[in-house]
Amino acid sequence: MSLNRDLIERDLRVLWHPCSQMKDYEWLPLIPIRRGDGVWLEDFEGRRYLDAVSSWWVNLFGHGNPRIGDAIRGQLEELEHVILAGFTHEPVVRLSEMLVKATPPGLDRCFFADNGSSAVEVALKMSFHYWRNVGRNDKTRFVTLSNSYHGETLGALAVGDVALYKETYGPLLMEPVTVPSPDCFHRAPGESWESHSRKTFEAMESCLAEHAETVCAVIVEPLVQCAGNMRMYDPVYLELLKDACQRHDIHLIADEIAVGFGRTGTLFACEQAGISPDFMCLSKGLTGGFLPLSVVVTSEAIYQAFYDDYASLKAFLHSHSYTGNPLGCAAAIATLGIFRDEDVLGRNRALSQHMAGSIADLVDHPHVGEIRQHGMILAIEMVKDKARRVPFAWQERRGLAVYRHGLSNGVLLRPLGNVVYFMPPYVIREDEIDLMASVARAGIELATSS
């Protein structure tokens, strides 16, 4: 029996995979991966797959990146982990200094966790707790955008709006106030992203005016609603939102877990609007995709509202066992070091342009409703009726046909519903972009031909 086959059989006896209907694996085989190198993943029989989705959007500088690997190995010689309550260590201090410097002005305090959802939970709890600490006990709710996604734990799920993940658990979830997304897929024909984003902001403005007394914070994914089918909007929305939050005494939580670290063209997406949120959640690319780590960066003013004598009971008593893990911090320091030492954003601008050019001809395809892009995220939306933008029924699983075609041709594309997207590691070469695009093009042809 082949090593691939053997591993699949052992796996299916004991594992339960994430985000999967396990029965699908009866006819859609798992792919065991033996090693990774740059943008490539390789199975046990030497078959290679170009990782066009950066392994769930985490990988920035390639699998097996030597600089990050060496940093982790070096740290392993010194200290693998230590409790972060009452104790500290050099990597977590250094990383915090680097994050304070790299994030927009006014974000000066780092609170660590170990995955994206947990960072969102931290930001929600901190915002709520801040308002209690300053005597605003009526502030208990959160405002979110339709089609948003912030993770799978109950608090994060509650402030998200992707029905597929959320609906089942409805009875367990707190209820946010949901405002229509600025999603520019829905703009009028010929309308600019900016104009559409401005127009949709009116609903947010009136919501904040109406609920200012009871709302703790607005939470958004800046510029791209990634899990919500890579829907995008204009930076002007964030500019208007920051201003409104300030006027109404409401926090702004920027969930940059997916879009942070250069994905949209700037180091952080908020920079394109020239704003500083009150909380910025970071994870995924933070460690270059090597280890689980997350952080909430917030302001000194928020921190100070918790700073008091113990008996005041104002402290933020939240913790995760692996908070600020030194190995993860070492990986993150190396990742930020690459941004510091190399012109990553400049290189990405050229790659983004090449990516746009590689697939531009598809815009005229009768079943392509839109091609949209923010930097190193490019999405192609397949539609049933191009003129009226009628979607294919989800039951038809058109994206799955693209996924299967991709795998048969050495490219890991993982469409979200009817949306095929590219979110590759930044070390991808132009010829590899061309390969990714040609396989996607053929996959879309195939998936929409009947």
List interacting residues with ligand PMP (CB under 6 A).
Answer: 115-117, 120, 149-151, 221, 226-227, 255, 257-258, 283
Distance, in Å, from the CA atom of 395 to the CA atom of 24, rounded to the nearest integer, reads: 14
Residues 6+ apart with CB under 8 A from 305: 130, 133, 134, 314
Distance, in Å, from the CA atom of 248 to the CA atom of 243, rounded to the nearest integer, reads: 9
The encoded tokens of residue 400 equal 């799955």
Distance, in Å, from the CA atom of 392 to the CA atom of 444, rounded to the nearest integer, reads: 13
Distance from the first to the final alpha carbon of the chain = 37
Q: Minimum CB separation from ligand PMP for residue 312, in Å?
A: 32
With respect to ligand PMP, which residue has the nearer C-beta, 96 or 283? 283
Distances (CA, A) of 66 to 226, 293, 331, 448: 29, 19, 11, 41
With respect to ligand PMP, which residue has the nearer C-beta, 143 or 226? 226
Distance, in Å, from the CA atom of 240 to the CA atom of 248, rounded to the nearest integer, reads: 12
For residue 194, give the H/E element and its range. Answer: helix 193-211
Name residue, tokens 């409104």. 244
Q: Are strands 35-37 and 40-42 parallel, antiparallel or unpaired?
A: antiparallel
With respect to ligand PMP, which residue has the nearer C-beta, 139 or 150? 150
Please answer whether residues 116 and 259 qualify as being in contact, where contact means their C-beta atoms are separated by less than 8 angstroms: no
With respect to ligand PMP, which residue has the nearer C-beta, 156 or 435? 156
Q: Minimum CB separation from ligand PMP for residue 115, in Å?
A: 4
Q: Minimum CB separation from ligand PMP for residue 56, in Å?
A: 6
Q: Which amino acid is at 389?
A: R
Distance, in Å, from the CA atom of 166 to the CA atom of 147, rounded to the nearest integer, reads: 11
Q: Minimum CB separation from ligand PMP for residue 442, in Å?
A: 27
With respect to ligand PMP, which residue has the nearer C-beta, 121 or 432? 121
With respect to ligand PMP, which residue has the nearer C-beta, 65 or 148? 148
Q: Are strands 377-382 and 419-422 parallel, antiparallel or unpaired?
A: antiparallel
Distance, in Å, from the CA atom of 125 to the CA atom of 268, rounded to the nearest integer, reads: 23
Q: Minimum CB separation from ligand PMP for residue 314, in Å?
A: 27
Task: Give 3-state DSSP helix, strand, coil % of the chain, rounded to 5.
Answer: 45, 15, 40
Q: Minimum CB separation from ligand PMP for residue 256, in Å?
A: 8
Distance, in Å, from the CA atom of 151 to the CA atom of 159, rounded to the nearest integer, reads: 9
With respect to ligand PMP, which residue has the nearer C-beta, 103 or 133? 103
Ranked by CB distance to ligand PMP, the top (closest) residue is 116
Distance, in Å, from the CA atom of 270 to the CA atom of 202, rounded to the nearest integer, reads: 20
Q: Minimum CB separation from ligand PMP for residue 175, in Å?
A: 19
Residues facing residue 421 across a β-bridge: 379
With respect to ligand PMP, which residue has the nearer C-beta, 216 or 226? 226
Q: Minimum CB separation from ligand PMP for residue 6, in Å?
A: 29
Q: Minimum CB separation from ligand PMP for residue 257, in Å?
A: 4
Q: Assign 402 to helix, strand or coil.
A: helix
Q: Which amino acid is at 277?
A: P
Q: What is the DSSP letter of 14?
A: H
Name residue, tokens 């190198």. 37
With respect to ligand PMP, which residue has the nearer C-beta, 159 or 407? 159
With respect to ligand PMP, which residue has the nearer C-beta, 207 or 257? 257
Distance, in Å, from the CA atom of 81 to the CA atom of 79, rounded to the nearest integer, reads: 6
Q: Minimum CB separation from ligand PMP for residue 281, in Å?
A: 7
Nearest to 276 by CA among 319, 316, 246: 246
Q: Minimum CB separation from ligand PMP for residue 149, in Å?
A: 6
With respect to ligand PMP, which residue has the nearer C-beta, 52 or 401? 52
Name residue, tokens 């918790």. 306
Q: Minimum CB separation from ligand PMP for residue 262, in Å?
A: 15
With respect to ligand PMP, which residue has the nearer C-beta, 54 or 133? 54
